[in-house]
Amino acid sequence: MKPGERIPLIKASIDALLPRMDDDATLVLNQFGAQLDGSYGRDTDSRRSFLTWAVQELSDETLLGLHDYLVGDEQAPVSVSADDDPWTDLPIRVFLSHKWEDAEWVSSLRSVLAKYGITAFVAHKDITPSKQWREVIKAGLRSCHMMVAVLHDDFHKSQWCDQEVGWALGRGIPIATLRRSLEFERGTDGFLEEVQDIQLDPSRGTGEWRAAQEIFRAAIRSVKPPELVRRALAEALVASPSWENTRNLWSAIARQDQWEQASLDRIKFAVQTNRQVYDAMVGERQLTALVDELVQQYEPKPIDWSTGDETPF
């Protein structure tokens, strides 16, 4: 395996093990032959460093076995070359499979998804004429975290749409279907009949915002590793357009069982810069107070060298 192929497997395995550090993480690592000579503290950074040291030393075969045990069929995305990379820096990557008739609407959906920390791949927008479009599409399919198939009557007449869906099903990544019309009934969709369905009501507008909200909800329930979800939640809070949206985001933020420093910093930035965040109320409490409590709980405490007889060096 190339180093670029090992890195996402290592990161996904570490993220899956972190919540189990007080339970059976060391047992799992022992069973997979990891060397556990070091020690770790109670804080997340110390535990992550310990896991990184242990997991990165595993052989390719053992690393694959550990990842499959922890994450299952929801495979971590493989790396792609810089020349073929269709993604932005936003945390969650969603491949939007669609027919050309929906191209303009899908482009608008992509812009809204960016406000939820999601970078969406739209073939006709993301491939420049100088690039081999098939290779860029394959790179997007290999490296996305989730797929959304925008269905209508002619969707399955496109061999490209069917092949894109088949690729995603083969990778075992989360898939959602989206219908823009109430008149379009699901037919014989094969394996797609088993996945989550999002249906829009055209009488309530063109639907990009509601579609983006439903895709975001599906992503935070199913995308792995969890660190990506926390990063997306933080970015969505930074761009929150309303108090109601902020409250909905906070309910998902409060359900997370850990937070990385970078995502905490983005949440604090949202409080400092977005009025729809710093003026929001959750029940009878100011959101700013809730954020302070979150930071207090998960942000590593600075070491106080003023106490005790030992010097720091």
- Model confidence at 84: pLDDT above 80: no
Please give the model's pTM, rounded to 2 decimal places. 0.71
Q: State percent of the chain over pLDDT 70.
A: 82
pLDDT at 74: 45
Q: Give, as one character, the DSSP assignment of residue 310.
A: -
- Rounded CA-CA distance 118/137 in Å is 18
Angle subtended at Cα 82 by Cα 234 and Cα 129, rounded to the nearest 5 degrees: 105
**CA–CA gap between residue 133 and residue 124 (Å, rounded):** 9
CA 217 to chain centre: 11
In whole angstroms, give the CA distance from residue 236 to residue 232: 6
pLDDT of residue 11: 85
Identify which has the larger pLDDT, 83 or 36: 36
Condensed to tens digits (0 to 9), the pLDDT of residues 160-187 reads 888 888 888 888 889 998 888 766 665 5
The partner residues of 93 in beta bridges, in order of sequence, read 119
Question: Which residues sit opposite 197 in a β-bridge?
Answer: 177
Confidence band for 73, pLDDT divided at 50, 70 and 90: very low
Tokens linked to 287: 């959101």
pLDDT in tens, 211-262: 999 999 999 999 888 888 999 999 999 999 999 999 999 999 999 988 989 9
Q: What is the mean pLDDT of the chain?
A: 84
> Which is more confident, 89 or 213?
213
| Tokens standing for residue 256 | 């997370």
CA distance 313 to 310: 8
Q: Which long-range contacts (CB under 8 A, 24 or more apart) does 20-25 make?
A: 21/47, 21/51, 25/51
Q: What percent of the chain has pLDDT over 90?
A: 40
**Between 303 and 45, residue with greater pLDDT:** 45
Region 45-66: mean pLDDT is 89
- Alpha carbon distance 40, 54 (integer Å): 12
**Intra-chain end-to-end CA distance of the chain, in Å:** 41
